[in-house]
Amino acid sequence: AMRTAVLIACLTGAAAFAPSSFLPSTRVRAPVQAAAPRLRTPVDARRARPVAASSVRMQTATGVDIAALTRAANEARGLAMDSIAAAKSGHLGLPLGCAEIGAVLYSDFLQHNPKDPQWLNRDRFVLSGGHGSMFLYSWLHISGYDLPMKEVKNFRQHHSMTPGHPEFPNSEHNTPGIEATTGPLGQGVVNAAGIAAAQKMEQAMFNTKDHTLFDSVTVALCGDGCLQEGVSAEGAAFAAHEGLDNLIIVYDSNDVTLDKMAEYTQSEDTAARYTAYGWEVVTIDGHDINAVKNTLDKFRASKNGKPKLLVCKTIIGKGIDEVAGTNAAHGEAGVKYVTEAKKKLGLTEPWQVSQDTYKYFEGVQKRLSSKYDAWKQTYNNWKSANADKAKLLEMLQKKHTPSAADMFKAIPEISKGKDIATREAGSIVINHISDLVPQFLSGSADLHGSNKNYIKNGGNFGRGFDKTYAGKNFYFGIREHGMGAIMNGIAFHGLFRPSGATFLVFVDYMRASIRVASLAELPCTYILTHDSIGVGEDGPTHQPVETTASLRVIPNLDVIRPADPEETVGAYVHSQQRKDGPTALILTRQNVKTLDSVPVQTRREGVLKGAYVARKESGDLKLIILAAGSEVQHAMAGAAAPRR
């Protein structure tokens, strides 16, 4: 009698992330370089490269109340000082150094509606330097989002709406106005490229000659650290190549990093580098409200096929003279000087926001509401004239996907009696998935031909050649990390479900992006082929013997390694059923045995359960064999072998 059962373990779940307030901070620490020796008088002399006067700076921005915005900027500085002092941790530098930028963004530039944070045609703002989160929380509160003062005071506390780094609305946090989870530097600027790509796609899919339904832009705020990270270079090259002229990166260029002044670790001309990528670049004084407003307005109007980089020369920690312009401003070292600093800014109360500022931003909200109401009328007219497009948009907005049962019914049996690689099976399944889930997108880091994940008749995304912005296939180039961060941006945007492919052994290049997707509960799919020593003659550099195990330990990442074509169907269906996190599909290059002895339905549905019994014992149970992926065929053969 056969006494061995074979249990196929396809899917692993994982423990939930620890609450953000319990996680160790990676960037809150005392500066290595002591502040005192670096101080100069006056503090404003810390600007290493003064910005020459330009036409942008000298013009007065139309309709801008400089006095009101200056007052609001100083009050935003005060909120950051008080919240960081109360939390006894945090980063003062960016919120204080970029206050004028925030005042312009939230009063006179961003197309948004604090009363409807999910408005489809809103501009997106991404704080790439997430450690400066009090910048974002201060401006969300001041501009009228549902972020009450008690939450601003609760900065960095467990279960508050103001965690240490911004977190995209998920099961742990639901802070309105947060467009992306940012933490590891550089991720946010590339997330912004992904959001901008999704905006281009929605424009191509839904705008008509009679109705411009979508015309939004994406703005990201970053610093020297973000642009030193390699992923930002990958994203910058992609954005320029694909003509994402709706992407604006505001570079907080304060010449300071955490350990030392930036000149200690960088000497390149960043503006020239981005010009070489194909970006439109302008350098201004980041504390000049007129210059910030005028340049941003020109960037919005520019449809030249170039993403935009606004280099803002700023003073880190501006407002606290004892640390301003030095690396000591990076953390909370300036907290002990807060009381005197606030007095100099005219702030006499803790967490002070004047009624004049609240009233001013109520006026801003009224102005924004009139634009919002006009858009709603455009939407209604568009909907009446474009019933099919309206139905599709509503489905995408609701994030609808067919049930697993309906998807299984629509996908025929893949390869009965024929042994094929699971990546080959995936090439068949993915085209059925595309038909069933129109928001499904598929990209690859220059390996469409090897990963077998190309959507036939899906078109290619981008500009030039045979590309359009409605294309469903993304050519990311040899940029795995950039691919992962761009996918996250597309998912943050909310209408589309991105997937991206590479060899499994290269997934470590994009691990940081996968971890963020897991934390943010994004429905991304990673198609990772060439999964084992079966890669063979490529040698050990391409044999990912430890990689699957390393993916399984990432909280909230589902990892599926199907054993045959029908399990591959189940794996893809599961990935499209998930709405609370990403899925990694681990596929073979080599052919595997089709498990014809197991019913098709059992194999497909077994994946959804995580594991199933492929061969049951026929007598007393003596041994259980656990296997997944290409090892299942060997486990089945071993279980059937005669025993002594």
Spatial CA neighbour of 9 closest among 633, 609, 586? 609
> Could you report the per-residue pLDDT of 392-422, keeping only the tens digit for each?
999 999 999 999 999 999 999 998 889 999 9
The reply to whether 408 and 331 lie within a common domain is no
* Helices 289-301 & 66-87 angle (0-180, nearest 10): 100
Q: Give a yes or no: residue 289 inside a domain.
A: yes
CA distance 197 to 202: 9
Report the pLDDT value the prediction gives residue 60, as an integer from 0 to 100: 67
- Containing domain of residue 348, as a range? 64-355
Write the DSSP assignment of 522-586 as a string of letters.
Answer: ---EEEEES-SGGGGGG-GGG--TTHHHHHHTSTT-EEE--SSHHHHHHHHHHHHH-SSS-EEEE
Which of the 8 DSSP states describes residue 258? Answer: S
CA distance 351 to 142: 11
Tokens of 369: 């509401």
The reply to whether 74 and 132 lie within a common domain is yes
CA distance 288 to 571: 53
pTM comes to 0.92
The reply to whether 193 and 82 lie within a common domain is yes
Contacts of 39 (CB under 8 A, 6+ apart): 322, 326
Q: How far is CA 360 from CA 66, 116, 229, 355, 506, in A?
A: 12, 19, 38, 8, 51
Which of the listed residues 355, 390, 416 is the one where a domain comes to its end? 355
The reply to whether 298 and 418 lie within a common domain is no
Q: Once rounded to an integer, what is the mean pLDDT over residues 238-251? A: 99
Q: Give a yes or no: residue 277 inside a domain.
A: yes
Look-up: residue for tokens 């139905």? 391
Element (H, E) at 625: strand 623-627
Element (H, E) at 124: strand 124-127
Contacts of 170 (CB under 8 A, 6+ apart): 181, 519, 520, 521
Of 22 and 85, more confident: 85
CA distance 463 to 460: 9
> Could you report the per-residue pLDDT of 624-644, keeping only the tens digit for each?
999 999 999 999 999 988 776
Element (H, E) at 388: helix 387-397
> Could you report the per-residue pLDDT of 523-572, keeping only the tens digit for each?
999 999 999 888 878 899 999 999 999 999 999 999 999 999 999 999 99
CA distance 486 to 513: 9
Q: Which of 16-20, 229-233, 353-357, 481-485 has the lowest mean pLDDT?
A: 16-20
The reply to whether 299 and 415 lie within a common domain is no
The reply to whether 550 and 493 lie within a common domain is yes
The reply to whether 209 and 88 lie within a common domain is yes
Q: Give a yes or no: residue 580 inside a domain.
A: yes
Q: Give a yes or no: residue 428 inside a domain.
A: yes
Q: Are strands 497-503 and 525-529 parallel, antiparallel or unpaired?
A: parallel
Q: Give a yes or no: residue 480 inside a domain.
A: yes
* Helices 270-277 & 230-241 angle (0-180, nearest 10): 40
Report the pLDDT value the prediction gives residue 485, as an integer from 0 to 100: 99
CA distance 593 to 561: 14
The reply to whether 331 and 426 lie within a common domain is no
Q: Which residues are catalytic?
A: 480
Q: Which of 37-41, 102-106, 165-169, 358-362 has the lowest mean pLDDT?
A: 37-41
The reply to whether 177 and 305 lie within a common domain is yes
Contacts of 515 (CB under 8 A, 6+ apart): 554
- Amino acid (one-letter) located at 141: H
Neighbour count for residue 70 (Cβ, 10 Å): 15
Q: Give a yes or no: residue 378 inside a domain.
A: no
Q: Give a yes or no: residue 182 inside a domain.
A: yes
What CATH number did the domain enclosing 227 receive? 3.40.50.970
Q: What is the mean pLDDT of the chain?
A: 91
Spatial CA neighbour of 554 closest among 518, 594, 507? 518
Q: Give a yes or no: residue 365 inside a domain.
A: no
Neighbour count for residue 520 (Cβ, 10 Å): 24
Spatial CA neighbour of 603 closest among 441, 431, 425, 434? 425
The reply to whether 463 and 541 lie within a common domain is yes
The reply to whether 341 and 436 lie within a common domain is no
Which of the listed residues 355, 385, 413 is the one where a domain comes to its end? 355
Contacts of 450 (CB under 8 A, 6+ apart): 423, 503, 529, 530, 589
pLDDT tops 80 at residue 191: yes
CA distance 141 to 138: 5
Domain tally, the chain: 2
Bridge partners, residue 261, by sequence: 256
The reply to whether 351 and 410 lie within a common domain is no
